[in-house]
Amino acid sequence: MAKLGRFAHPATDRPNAGTRLALKRGMNARDLFHAAPAAAQQARPVRILGVASGLGAEHSGTADGPARLRGERLESRLGQVGLTAAWGELLYPDPAPDEPVTEVVCRLCDRLATEVAAAVRAGFTPLVLGGDHSCAMGTWRGIAAAARAPVGLLWIDAHLDAHTPQTSHTGRLHGMPLAALLGQGGGTLCVERAVLAPEHVCVVGARSFEPEEAALLAALGVRVYPMAEIDRRGLEPVLREALARVRRGTAGYGVSIDLDVVDPADAPGVTTPVAGGLRGEALAQALAAVARAAAPIAVEIVEYDPHCDRGEATARLVERLAAALLGGGDEGRTPLAIALERRYSAANYDPAPIVLVRGEGAYLWDETGRRYLDFMSAYSAVSLGHAHPRILNALIGQASRLAVTSRAFYNDRLPAFLARLCRVTGMDRALPVNTGLEAVETALKAARKWAYTVKGVPDGCAEIIACEGNFHGRSIAIVGMSSEPQYRAGFGPFPPGFRLVPYGDLAALERAIGPHTAAFLVEPIQGERGIVVPPAGYLAACARLCRERNVLLIADEVQTGLGRTGSLLACDHEGVRPDGLVLGKALGGGVLPVSAFLAREDVMAVFRPGDHGSTFGGNPLAAAVGLETLNVLLEERLPDRAAELGARLLAGLRSIRSRLVREVRGKGLLAGVEIEPGLASARRVVEGLRARGVLSKETHGTVVRFAPPLVIEAAEIDQAVAALRAALEEIENGNVTS
Ligand SMILES: Cc1ncc(COP(=O)(O)O)c(C=O)c1O
- Provide DSSP, 419-481: HHHHHHHT-SEEEEESSHHHHHHHHHHHHHHHIIIII-PPTT--EEEEETT-----SHHHHHT
**What is the CA(680)–ligand 1 centre distance, in A?**
28
Please report the sign of the dihedral spanned by the C-alpha atoms of residue 40, residue 42, residue 46, residue 52. positive
Rounded Cα gap, residues 117 and 135, in angstroms = 14
Task: Kindly report the three-state secondary structure assignment for every residue of 154-173.
Answer: EEECCCCCCCCCCCCCCCCH
Does ligand 1 lie within 6 Å of residue 432's CB atom? no
CA distances to 84, 89, 240, 261 from 306, in Å: 26, 20, 31, 16
- Residue 341 has what pLDDT? 82
Task: Say what the pLDDT of residue 157 is.
Answer: 98
Q: What's the pLDDT at 328?
A: 66
Predicted confidence at residue 306, as pLDDT, reads 95
Give the number of the atom of ligand 1 that is nearest the alpha carbon of residue 527: 16
Q: Whose CA is nearest to atom 10 of ligand 1?
A: 436
Residue nearest to atom 7 of ligand 1 (CA): 436
Full-model pTM: 0.64
- Res 40: pLDDT: 37
- Strands 125-130 and 46-51 come out as parallel
**pLDDT at residue 78, as a whole number:** 82
pLDDT number for residue 148: 87
Give yes or no for residue 365 CB within 6 A of ligand 1.
Answer: no
Please say whether the beta carbons of 706 and 362 come within 8 A.
no
Residue 147 to residue 118: CA distance in whole angstroms: 11
Complete domains list, the chain, with CATH: 4-336 (3.40.800.10), 356-381+638-733 (3.90.1150.10), 389-635 (3.40.640.10)
* Dihedral sign of CA atoms 545, 547, 551, 555 in order: positive
Cis ω on the peptide bond leading into residue 493 (within 30° of 0)? Answer: yes
User: What is residue 570's predicted lDDT score, i.e. its pLDDT?
Assistant: 98
Q: Which runs of E-coded beta strand occur in 177-334?
A: 201-206, 223-226, 253-258, 298-302
Q: Running along the chain, 738 residues long, what does each successive block of 10 average in pLDDT?
A: 31 31 38 39 79 93 94 78 85 94 94 97 95 97 94 98 92 94 81 92 97 96 96 93 96 97 96 94 90 93 96 93 82 69 83 92 92 97 98 98 97 98 98 98 98 98 98 98 94 98 98 98 97 98 98 98 98 98 98 98 97 97 98 98 98 97 98 94 93 94 96 98 97 65
Q: How far apart are CA 176 and CA 262, in angstroms?
A: 20
| Kind and range of the H or E run holding 714 | helix 714-733
- The single residue of 124, 305, 585, 597 carrying the catalytic annotation is 585
Virtual torsion, Cα 182, 185, 186, 190, nearest 10 deg: -120
Is the minimum distance from the CB of 471 to ligand 1 under 6 angstroms?
Answer: yes
The SS3 assignment for 357 reads strand
62 lines ligand 1 (CB under 6 A): no
Tally of CB atoms within 10 A around 273: 20
How buried is 97 (Cβ within 10 angstroms: 0-12 exposed, 13-18 middle, 19+ buried)?
Answer: exposed
pLDDT number for residue 189? 73
Of residues 561, 588, 563, the one with CA closest to residue 638: 563
Per-residue pLDDT at 28: 43
For residue 106, the surrounding DSSP H or E stretch is: helix 101-121
What local confidence, expressed as pLDDT, does residue 52 receive?
Answer: 97
> Which amino acid is located at 398 in the chain?
Q
Integer Cα distance of 224 and 485 in angstroms: 59
